[in-house]
C-alpha cells in the first residue's frame, strides 16, 4: 500500500479500501505513507489555498504519524516531505485511488479517479511517489521536534510597542528608528519559548488607519522586528494587527477578542492555558472579553522578567 497526502486528515480515504487497522495487522507486504512535513511552507500555502486550519492539519499529521508507527508493527514506514501537492493517492499493486485534496474546492476541477495498474497515469504517479520518497525525511526521527513545536497549544500573546520594543507605532518606515528591545524581554521570551509557549504578537496599529503609515510600511517594520528577535534565537510565531483608526469602531481592536480568537483557531490554542502581556491599563480589559485567559500588565514596579516568572510559576510544565 502506498499513501500520499498533503494532510494527515486525508488518511480517511483508505476506508474506501477497507479499514486501515486491518491493513496494518495483515502480515503481507509493507506500507509506505508519505505525508506533508508539518513545518513545510508548501503545506501552509496549501492550507491557505483550500481554507484549511493549518494548526489542525499539523496536529493531525503528527498524531496520525505516531499512530501509524505504533500500530504498524514495524511494517509501516512514514516519511514527511516538503513539497506536498494538492492531491492525494492511495494505491496498491492493482489499483490507485486519486483525488484532489479537497473535493469541490475552488480551482479544483478534477474529481476522484480509480486507475488500474498499467495505465500511463498510474505509472507516472507511482514514479512521482518513489522519487519524492527518496528525498523525504524519516518521520520517526522528526517526532521529537514535532512534540516540542507542532503540538504546542499554549501561547503568550504579546503587545508590541512599549511591551516588547520601544514604541515604533508611528514610524513611517523601518529606517526611521532602530528596533530597541526592552530590558528583560529577550531572556523572558527565551524562557517562555523553552517552556513550550508559542509567541504571538497582537497589536493595535492605527497609524495605517489614519494614513500616517502604509500597509507596506507596517510589513517592512514587522520584518525588521522579526529579524531583531531572530538574532537572539527567538521565533515570533505570528503578528496580528488591527490597523483601523479608533473612530472606525471595528471589531478587531484590542481589547476586543477577534484577533486572539483568530490566532487560537489557526494554531489550535488552549486559551485557558495561554497568557497576554501588555503595558497599558486598557490591556487589562482583554480579561473582560476572554476571562479564561490570564492577563498581565508590565509596569515600572514589575518589569517583563517578573511577569515571566509569574507565568511560569502559575503554569509549570
36-46 as b/e: b if 16+ CB within 10 A? bbbebebbeeb
Residue matched to cell numbers 515571566: 308
Alpha helices per DSSP H over 72-204: 120-135, 139-149, 185-194
Q: Is 299 a catalytic residue?
A: no
Of these residues, 161, 217, 279, 283, which one is catalytic?
161
Choose the catalytic residue: 22, 159, 283, 285.
Answer: 159
Give the three cell numbers for residue 276.
497576554
CA-based nearest residue to 283, from 307, 266, 306: 307
Give CA–CA dist 309/245, Å, rounded. 35
Sheet containing 154-158: give its strands across.
Answer: 238-242, 197-204, 154-158, 275-278, 294-297
Q: How long, in residues, is the chain? A: 317
Does the active-site annotation cover 161? Answer: yes
Closest-CA residue to 187 (of 225, 234, 239)? 234
Measured CA distances, 237 to 55, 121, 152 (Å): 12, 40, 11
Catalytic residue ranges: 159, 161
Amino acid at each position: 500500500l502506498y499513501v500520499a497526502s498533503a494532510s494527515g486528515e486525508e488518511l480517511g480515504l483508505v476506508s474506501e479500501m477497507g479499514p486501515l487497522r486491518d491493513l496494518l495487522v495483515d502480515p503481507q507486504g509493507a506500507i509506505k505513507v508519505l505525508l506533508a512535513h508539518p513545518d513545510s511552507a508548501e503545506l501552509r500555502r496549501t492550507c491557505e489555498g483550500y481554507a484549511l486550519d493549518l494548526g489542525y492539519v499539523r496536529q493531525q499529521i503528527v498524531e496520525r504519524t505516531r499512530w501509524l508507527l505504533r500500530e504498524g508493527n514495524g511494517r509501516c514506514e512514514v516519511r514527511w516531505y516538503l513539497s506536498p501537492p494538492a492531491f492525494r493517492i492511495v494505491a496498491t499493486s492493482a489499483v490507485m485511488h486519486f483525488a484532489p485534496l479537497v473535493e469541490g474546492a475552488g480551482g479544483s476541477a478534477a474529481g476522484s479517479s480509480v486507475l488500474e495498474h498499467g495505465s500511463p497515469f498510474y505509472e507516472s504517479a507511482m514514479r512521482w511517489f518513489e522519487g519524492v520518497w527518496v528525498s523525504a525525511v524519516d518521520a520517526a526521527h522528526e517526532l521529537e521536534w514535532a512534540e516540542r513545536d507542532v503540538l504546542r497549544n499554549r501561547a503568550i500573546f504579546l503587545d508590541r510597542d512599549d511591551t516588547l520594543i520601544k514604541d515604533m507605532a508611528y514610524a513611517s518606515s523601518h529606517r526611521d528608528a532602530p528596533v530597541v528591545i526592552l530590558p528583560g524581554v529577550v531572556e523572558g521570551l527565551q524562557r517562555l519559548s523553552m517552556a513550550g509557549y508559542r509567541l504571538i504578537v497582537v497589536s493595535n496599529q492605527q497609524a495605517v488607519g489614519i494614513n500616517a503609515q502604509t500597509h507596506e510600511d507596517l510589513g517592512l517594520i514587522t520584518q525588521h522586528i522579526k529579524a531583531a528577535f531572530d538574532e537572539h534565537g527567538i521565533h515570533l510565531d505570528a503578528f496580528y494587527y488591527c490597523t483601523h483608526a479608533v473612530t472606525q469602531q471595528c471589531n478587531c481592536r484590542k481589547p476586543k477578542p477577534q484577533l486572539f480568537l483568530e490566532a487560537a483557531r489557526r494554531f489550535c490554542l488552549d486559551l485557558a492555558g495561554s497568557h497576554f502581556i501588555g503595558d497599558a491599563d486598557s490591556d487589562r480589559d482583554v480579561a473582560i472579553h476572554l476571562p479564561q485567559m490570564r492577563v498581565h500588565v508590565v509596569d515600572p514596579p514589575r518589569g517583563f522578567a517578573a511577569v515571566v516568572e509569574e507565568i511560569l510559576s502559575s503554569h509549570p510544565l
